[in-house]
Amino acid sequence: MRQVFRLFTALKRDRRGVSAVEFALLAPFMIALYLGSVQLTLGLTADRKVSQVANSVADLVTQDDFVTDSDLVDIYAAADAILNPFDPEPLALRITSVRMDAEGEVFVDWSEGDGMTPHDTDSLPDLPEGLMAPMNSIIMVEATYRFSTNLGELTKTPITLSDTAYLRPRRGPWVRRG
């Protein structure tokens, strides 16, 4: 019995394995914290890219007074390039021209979508108060992106990131669609 007691006393005084035990207890937490911060950073970067896509697409559309189908193909390609290094597949865009006539009637002039259904000319999207002026228009670009993390099973549901940009045409009162 004394021998067992001496063995326990010797083990109690031996500090050689304390660092290994502490590391084994803290390593999973530190790895999870590191991976979580990496994924959070990726998500914030993707959110900024979605905002940049919405603003850049609106800027490209408002630079001319006439937008064609080939212009839209190039604009959608530019949006995909802006989103780089993220996969452009989950990106959806909707470009809408909203006008106000001389009587103050607001209506959708035209709308195009890539991965999103265009607005009907009969419907009116929600607009911020005071955005429209008589005999003028705005270009509204809505961008959504389904962001999924690299951790897969930990977050089964993708996060939907979205932004809306509003810009006035530069060359005239509205942008025509051809």
Per-domain residue ranges of the chain: 16-177
pLDDT at 144: 97
* Mean pLDDT calculated for residue range 1-24: 78
Identify the pLDDT of residue 6: 80
Share of residues in the chain with pLDDT > 70 (%): 95
Is the pLDDT higher at 157 or at 50?
A: 50
Higher pLDDT, 12 or 164: 164
Backbone angles phi, psi at 85, to 5 degrees: -95, 10
pTM confidence score: 0.82
> Residue 85, preceding bond cis, omega within 30 degrees?
yes
Which pairing describes strands 136-147 and 159-167: parallel, antiparallel, or unpaired? antiparallel
Band of residue 25 on the pLDDT scale cut at 50, 70, 90? very high
> Are the C-beta atoms of residues 125 and 98 closer than 8 Å to each other?
yes
Distance CA 30, CA 35 (A): 9
Residue 11 has pLDDT above 80, yes or no: no
The pLDDT value recorded for residue 92 is 97
Is the confidence at residue 162, as pLDDT, over 90? Answer: yes
- pLDDT computed for residue 146 by the predictor: 94
**pLDDT reported for residue 74:** 96
pLDDT (mean) for 91-97: 96
The mean pLDDT value of the chain amounts to 90
pLDDT of residue 154: 62
